[in-house]
Amino acid sequence: MVGGEILIRKKWKIFKKILKILLVVFLVIVVFAIIYFVGLSAKNTKQNLSTIVIENPLKNIVYANVNENGEVDKNKVIEQALLEFDVDYINYIFIALGVNNLYKSKIGFGNPKVEFDLDGEVWSSEINNGNLNTKKESIDDEDIRIIMSKKEIIESLLAKDIKEFMIESVKSRRTNIEMIAGKTELLSKGYLKMYSDLTGE
């Protein structure tokens, strides 16, 4: 009888070990499946955002300030652009900063939200279903804050390579990026890729 109990215990231990192994394998499969579908979903969202195209808002201003020798009066362009500064300037720079890397969080943090502090003027942008919703107002629960001057934005729009200009602007501290949300939230929305592209960190 004792030998039977020992045999039953051994069988039960073996069964428990097999059950634990199967449970671990199942959990690993579930985790990989979640990562795959979140990545696939994020990739699809990125593809939607990467189709955002906007014309450089300085195009007409530059054209109006070219002399007969084909030279652009940069000071006049900047002066006029500061007077006409609007939402298109923000959207253009946001696209240059890497908005195509951002997407709605799949773990419940919501849409990417960015606040811009431009010479003390507050603007905000939210990405919603592949659209940029930019306004001249503050936003609740912003993820990051970008602090720069309007003149710096205009200079970037005049640069030959806007991405390189912005990388240099961040490195030289003419543009500052403040991370407001936690790393998990920022990671879930794609900010860390954008941040590392701009800062090299």
Do 168 and 186 belong to one domain?
A: yes
Do 38 and 118 belong to one domain?
A: no
User: Which pair of tokens denotes residue 42?
Assistant: 């994020």
Helices (H) and strands (E) in the chain, counts: 8, 5
Do 69 and 106 belong to one domain?
A: yes
The answer to whether the pTM exceeds 0.95 is no
For the stretch 37-48, pLDDT in tens is: 555 555 544 444
Q: How far is CA 103 from the centre of its chain?
A: 7
Q: So what's the pLDDT on residue 21?
A: 82
For the stretch 91-131, pLDDT in tens is: 998 887 778 788 899 999 999 999 999 999 999 999 988 78
Of the two residues 201 and 170, the one the predictor is more confident about is: 170
Q: So what's the pLDDT on residue 50?
A: 47
Q: How far is CA 102 from CA 28, 110, 154, in A?
A: 27, 12, 23
Do 131 and 182 belong to one domain?
A: yes
Do 38 and 90 belong to one domain?
A: no
**C-beta of residue 191 within 8 angstroms of C-beta of residue 143:** yes
Do 167 and 100 belong to one domain?
A: yes
Do 32 and 19 belong to one domain?
A: yes
User: Which pair of tokens denotes residue 157?
Assistant: 């729009």
Q: State the total domains in the chain.
A: 2
Domain interval for residue 125: 54-199
Q: So what's the pLDDT on residue 135?
A: 93
Do 40 and 58 belong to one domain?
A: no
Mean pLDDT rounded to a whole number for the chain: 83
Do 39 and 62 belong to one domain?
A: no
Q: Write the CATH number for 167.
A: 3.30.1050.10
For the stretch 143-161, pLDDT in tens is: 999 999 999 999 999 998 9
Do 62 and 16 belong to one domain?
A: no
Do 2 and 87 belong to one domain?
A: no
